[in-house]
Amino acid sequence: MAGPINWFSQIASVTKFGLMSLPQRRGAVAATVIGIAGVVAVLVGVLSIAAGFKQAMTVSGSPDGAIVLRSGADSEMVSGLDRDATRVIADAPGLARTAQGPLASAELFVIIDLPKRSTGTDANVPLRGVEAAALQVRDNLKIIQGRMFDWGKDEVIVGAGAAQEFSGLDVGSKIQVGRYEWPVVGIFSANGGVSESEIWSDAKVLQAAYNRGDSFQSVSVRLNSPAAFEAFKDSLTSNPQLSVKVSRQSDYYAEQSEVITRLITTLGFLIAFLMAVGAVFGALNTMYSAVAARTREIATLRALGFGGGAVVVSLMLESLLLALVGGVIGGGLAYLAFNNFHTSTMNWQSFSQITFAFRVTLELLARGVAWAAAIGLIGGLFPAIRAARLPIAAALREL
């Protein structure tokens, strides 16, 4: 007996009938597809904000990079290290070295007010004073326009993100820091990382402008290898001269982005969940009306000997198909609308602006389509069961 084959061919033919009748139910079908496309677009769209933010943070942390702050400080802004401490840190074991010395950059981190291009209102733009090793302790740093500033001179370079988001940061313009005016001589990129939101100057120049004497806020270093981190950390934390907190770059940036990622994902999921509930109702309505419109058809099929199971499966297939179409449309819309959308926001931990681009990743798209499938299955299940349970004789009498 060719049971399974027969069963599959039953499903195939019932599904085919269902699909052929779609044009007659245009309104309801379109409503379902639009509804589900909406859910997926929103889910993917909102989460792409969080994904983009996270990405900016992740590419910033290289596996062999580390950052040293004063112990108890949760961001560079509130940290402080004197010259002696930064020397001890630069001499610690495990640091990568070049002919010019260890790859350690003692840095200052302050903010200055600059107007946002989009609104014209002031924003806290980070201004970092760096030492010569800064370009090597971070990955993928490149000057893309103009030149590097000259050490010891009152000049700055600007991250590509900052140059795009805030006014007055083009090469050739000048930024005003208190009574000083510093020309912008170059623009750099950092593969989309956090540094792109910043303005950089020579640490010594910034110390003088801010009356910081010879003190710093953080030391960024590059290690020999990712494995050298533990030894580096232990030697610093066990040193009685120092009271510091040592983190891997990646952990530090993950911590820095936590608040905002939490905010966006909490809200994003909440919204998408509510929407999904709404879309399930929409899908249920569509499939119920599909079943109602085909009561006689289904009853005729059952009378001819088609099984209840085949009817259930094929109705669910139909609903799933509609949902997937909606999902793909929604994902596509989200991709077109949001991928690589540049913006900036306030990163509360560092009290400063961070520029980043939304990222519609494959993973997000897959998640969106999975939600669509779930909505389709739930929306198809109950109407399908009702169809299969229809008393055949009564349904046929409706003819």
Residue numbers at the binding site for other proteins (CB under 8 A) = 27-28, 31-32, 34-35, 38, 41-42, 45-46, 49, 72-74, 77-79, 110-113, 116, 118-119, 121-124, 177-178, 259, 262-264, 266-267, 270-271, 274-275, 277-279, 281-282, 284-285, 288-289, 343-346, 348, 351, 353
Q: Is the Cβ of residue 90 or residue 184 nearer to other proteins in the bound state?
A: 184
Task: Tell me the closest approach of the beta carbon of residue 45 to other proteins, in angstroms.
Answer: 6
Task: Tell me the closest approach of the beta carbon of residue 231 to other proteins, in angstroms.
Answer: 27
> Which residue from 101, 130, 125 is spatially nearest to 114, judged by alpha carbons?
125
DSSP state of 244: E
Q: Is the four-CA dihedral 238, 239, 244, 246 of positive or negative sign?
A: negative
Task: Tell me the closest approach of the beta carbon of residue 27 to other proteins, in angstroms.
Answer: 6
Q: Is the Cβ of residue 22 or residue 34 nearer to other proteins in the bound state?
A: 34
Give Dmax over CA atoms of the chain in angstroms. Answer: 95
The DSSP code sequence of 40-92 is: HHHHHHHHHHHHHHHHHHHHH--TTEEEEEETT-SSGGG--EEHHHHHHHHTS
Task: Tell me the closest approach of the beta carbon of residue 303 to other proteins, in angstroms.
Answer: 25
Task: Tell me the closest approach of the beta carbon of residue 262 to other proteins, in angstroms.
Answer: 7
Q: Compute the distance between CA of residue 90 and CA of residue 337 in angstroms, rounded to an integer.
A: 46
> Which residues have CB under 8 Å from 243's CB, separation 6+?
70, 71
β partners of residue 106: 219
Q: Is the Cβ of residue 55 or residue 344 nearer to other proteins in the bound state?
A: 344
Q: Is the Cβ of residue 176 or residue 225 nearer to other proteins in the bound state?
A: 176
CA angle 329, 335, 339 (to 5 degrees): 170
Q: Is the Cβ of residue 7 or residue 351 nearer to other proteins in the bound state?
A: 351
Q: Is the Cβ of residue 94 or residue 383 nearer to other proteins in the bound state?
A: 383
Task: Tell me the closest approach of the beta carbon of residue 182 to other proteins, in angstroms.
Answer: 12
> Which residues have CB under 8 Å from 28's CB, separation 6+?
285, 286, 289, 290
Task: Tell me the closest approach of the beta carbon of residue 267 to other proteins, in angstroms.
Answer: 7
Q: How many CA within 13 A on the CB side of residue 213?
A: 6
Task: Tell me the closest approach of the beta carbon of residue 298 to other proteins, in angstroms.
Answer: 17
SS3 category, 127 = strand
Answer yes or no: are the C-beta atoms of 271 and 46 closer than 8 Å.
Answer: yes
Q: Is the Cβ of residue 292 or residue 366 nearer to other proteins in the bound state?
A: 292
Residue 209: both structure tokens together: 């402008």
Q: Is the Cβ of residue 11 or residue 111 nearer to other proteins in the bound state?
A: 111
